[in-house]
């Protein structure tokens, strides 16, 4: 299946089509709600592909990060368990992946201290993703965590020395910071960390039903686990434009093109071809096609998720095992870091 797509690949971070045997992949999702189609086509699909090619896959659930843009973290455990179900439904193999919550890994969190010393306040302040998130935040005051979480994310990635990070486009500035931190640490104290590469997908920025980035917390997302009816209702309400002739033109017609791309991704087709098929059927024909494509593609995933949901004891066990493994890895890395920095032993 080839989709040519939005072509938002970056020159600075060439995406290898195949992982090398030595790759260690880390990526993750905030426990703020159910995963959506943006996650799936932006990163989850790549994670599962890499896992199936045999790489070491670490999935972080950064629970402290929930507090970047809200005062209290609500329904944390529910969201964490829901994420694990979404992973399993999407094809993450519990025997090959390490899934963990970063709050349960003290040695990982301790890396934040030296890491913060390696970046300037100005660098933290000019991060475009942080600025966008502040603009969409409902908080009146911006917390220190909002500015420092990208350095925390560097700890999430570097504690296990990951060298490949499959993410959506919003994460590029954060990955740049991670590379900066790794490089400066190595220059200052000796070689400990890799400089991880970013892996973008062919849909690095899927839009939500309101035409802005699909996000768990913006009330604009199509959840992976949604029912067929719910999916139909949400797509029916999606923002489009008034031009009857459907075309794939992300720059000039972002909302329409987003639905075309979504259909193309689900059907494994070229978006231009999908648009040509719909022709002058207008938004209603496009929405019908998108609904059909999404519901068909995700039916097996939803069924698998529902099966795993029968046994939440298993899901919790998986997290406990993942946390134990992450702690082992983090303690080993922290020992190296303390040694490199000349801390008392």
Q: Which residues form the interface with ligand ATP (CB under 6 A)?
A: 27, 29-30, 32, 38-39, 42-43, 167-168, 170-171, 204-206, 213-218
3-class secondary structure, 339: helix
SS3 154: helix
Q: From the CB of 117, what's the least distance to ligand ATP, in Å?
A: 26
Least Å from the CB of residue 34 to ligand ATP:
10
Q: Residue 81's closest CA among 323, 325, 309?
A: 309
Please identify, using beta-carbon distances, which residue of 114 and 168 lies nearer to ligand ATP: 168
Nearest approach in angstroms of CB 267 to ligand ATP is 19
Q: Nearer to ligand ATP by C-beta: 150 or 168? A: 168
β-pairing, 24-28 vs 56-61, is: parallel
**Residue 38: closest CA among 166, 221, 266:** 221
Q: Which of 33, 37, 79, 3 is nearest to 295 (CA)?
A: 37
CA-wise closest residue to 173 among 203, 145, 153: 153
Of 73 and 119, CB closest to ligand ATP = 73
Closer residue to ligand ATP, CB minimum distance, 92 or 334: 92
Cβ neighbours of residue 131 closer than 8 Å, sequence gap 6 or more: none
**Backbone dihedral region of 221: left (phi > 0), alpha (psi from -120 to 50 degrees) or beta?**
beta
- Which tokens sit at 291? 């609904």
Torsion of CA 270, 273, 274, 279, to 10 degrees: 160
The span from the CA of 47 to the CA of 19, in Å, is 11
**Cβ of residue 313: shortest distance to ligand ATP, in angstroms?**
25
Given the complex with ligand ATP, which of 27 and 323 has the nearer CB atom?
Answer: 27
Q: How far is CA 309 from the centre of its chain?
A: 22
Sheet containing 24-28: order of strands: 97-101, 56-61, 24-28, 164-166, 197-199
Cβ of residue 215: shortest distance to ligand ATP, in angstroms?
A: 3
CB of 328 vs ligand ATP, minimal distance in Å:
25
CB of 326 to ligand ATP, least distance (A): 18
Helix (H, G, I), strand (E, B) or coil at 327: helix
Q: Based on CB atoms, which residue is closest to ligand ATP, 176 or 277?
A: 176
CB of 109 to ligand ATP, least distance (A): 18
Task: Output 43 or 103, the one with its CB closest to ligand ATP.
Answer: 43
Report the residue number, 293 or 337, with the smaller CB distance to ligand ATP. 293
């Amino acid at each position: 299946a080839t989709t040519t797509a939005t072509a938002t690949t970056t020159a600075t971070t060439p995406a290898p089509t195949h992982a090398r045997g030595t790759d260690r992949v880390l990526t993750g999702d905030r426990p703020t709600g159910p995963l959506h189609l943006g996650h799936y086509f932006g990163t989850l699909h790549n994670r599962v592909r890499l896992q199936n090619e045999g790489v070491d896959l670490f999935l972080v659930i950064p629970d402290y990060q929930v507090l970047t843009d809200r005062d209290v973290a609500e329904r944390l455990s529910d969201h964490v368990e829901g994420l694990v179900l979404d992973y399993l439904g999407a094809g993450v193999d519990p025997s090959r992946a390490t899934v963990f919550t970063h709050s349960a890994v003290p040695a990982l969190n301790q890396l934040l201290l030296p890491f913060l010393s390696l970046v300037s306040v100005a660098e933290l302040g000019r991060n475009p993703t942080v600025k966008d998130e502040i603009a969409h935040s409902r908080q009146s005051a911006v917390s220190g965590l909002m500015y420092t979480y990208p350095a925390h994310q560097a700890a999430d990635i570097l504690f296990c020395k990951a060298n490949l990070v499959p993410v959506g486009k919003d994460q590029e500035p954060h990955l740049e910071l991670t590379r900066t931190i790794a490089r400066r640490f190595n220059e200052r104290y000796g070689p400990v960390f890799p400089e991880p590469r970013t892996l973008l997908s062919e849909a690095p920025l899927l839009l939500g039903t309101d035409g802005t980035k699909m996000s768990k917390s913006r009330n604009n997302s199509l959840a992976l686990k949604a029912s067929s009816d719910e999916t139909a209702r949400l797509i029916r309400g999606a923002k489009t434009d008034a031009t009857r002739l459907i075309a794939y033109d992300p720059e000039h017609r972002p909302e329409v093109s987003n639905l075309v791309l979504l259909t193309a991704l689900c059907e494994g087709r070229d978006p231009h071809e999908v648009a040509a098929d719909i022709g002058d059927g207008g938004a209603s024909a496009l929405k019908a096609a998108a609904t059909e494509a999404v519901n068909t593609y995700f039916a097996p995933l939803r069924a698998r998720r529902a099966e795993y949901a029968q046994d939440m004891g298993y899901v919790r066990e998986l997290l406990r095992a993942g946390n134990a493994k992450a702690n082992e890895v983090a303690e080993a890395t922290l020992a190296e870091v303390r040694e490199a920095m000349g801390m008392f032993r």
